[in-house]
Amino acid sequence: MTENKGFPTEFIDLPSKGWFYPENSPLTSGKVEMKYMSAHEEDILTSTSLLQKGLVIDALMKSLLVDKTISYDDFLLGDRNALILAARILGYGKDYAVAIECPECKKKAEKIVDLEKLPVKNGDFSPEHKGKNEFSLQLPATKRIITFKLLTNGDDKLVNKEAEAIQKATKSDILPLITTRMRASILTIDGDATKGKINQFIQEMPARDSRAFREYGTKMMPDIDMRVDFACPYCSFSNLLEIPLDANFFWPRSEV
């Protein structure tokens, strides 16, 4: 713990180690200073207006970052997740009582998760990626070579907004998150950066290629593994399930 302007702070290690940010970014250090949560941040967490707009987490993290020149939208998604996790630990401790709904029998059971034991998933820290958020992959079905970037928090928000707008405009029951996320991530196909050709290819992409791309992108993204072992006490279901990082994550206990 350190002191900054009279309030306690901690330096948080980013899963990316700052590796994939441009040289002029303050995030290249691989660490950011975050202050401990206070009553002010609890006001943010209980703001009805922010909750309705889905802006609670953004407002909270912006308040906790000590260096206000850093944009929360610039964080890679894995680094963003690490910050949310750190804020929860600093604010309410490492033990998180979460109510998990069994996918099989639909009953809820409480599990105590030690948040400090959640492991970091490392990406590819090869020298060619230093200061460059760009990766390449040959797709297994079509054999096309794509280059793509890891999405930031800002990208993720735009993806969600665009997908919702498309669904509303087309009056569809389908929220096109997968294809919208791929459009935001893919930079070139066989060296061609033409947006129209990329969009057309994404719409026609075989499911095998789509899945391979998503799995590879997840592998390349340094992140916190938010999955926990869950064995349902009411049925035979047992598997890894992911803890959601939403506003409820910041309260000491969840109702079962």
Q: What is the pLDDT of residues 147-166, one digit of tens each?
A: 999 999 999 999 999 999 99
Q: How confident is the model at residue 255 (pLDDT cuts 50, 70, 90)?
A: very low
Q: Which residues contact 97 (CB under 8 A, 6 or more apart)?
A: 110, 111, 112, 113, 252, 253, 254
pLDDT tens digit string along 67-116?
999 999 999 999 999 999 999 999 999 999 888 889 999 999 988 999 99
Residue 210: pLDDT over 90: yes
Q: Are 99 and 109 in contact (CB under 8 A)?
A: yes
Q: Which two tokens stand for residue 253?
A: 């206990």
pLDDT at site 144: 97
Percentage, residues of the chain above pLDDT 90: 82
| Residue predicted with more confidence, 17 or 5 | 17
Q: Are 245 and 226 in contact (CB under 8 A)?
A: yes
What pTM did the predictor assign?
0.89
The mean predicted confidence, pLDDT, of the chain is 92
pLDDT tens digit string along 30-71?
999 999 999 999 999 999 999 888 899 999 999 999 999 999
Residue 247: pLDDT over 70: no
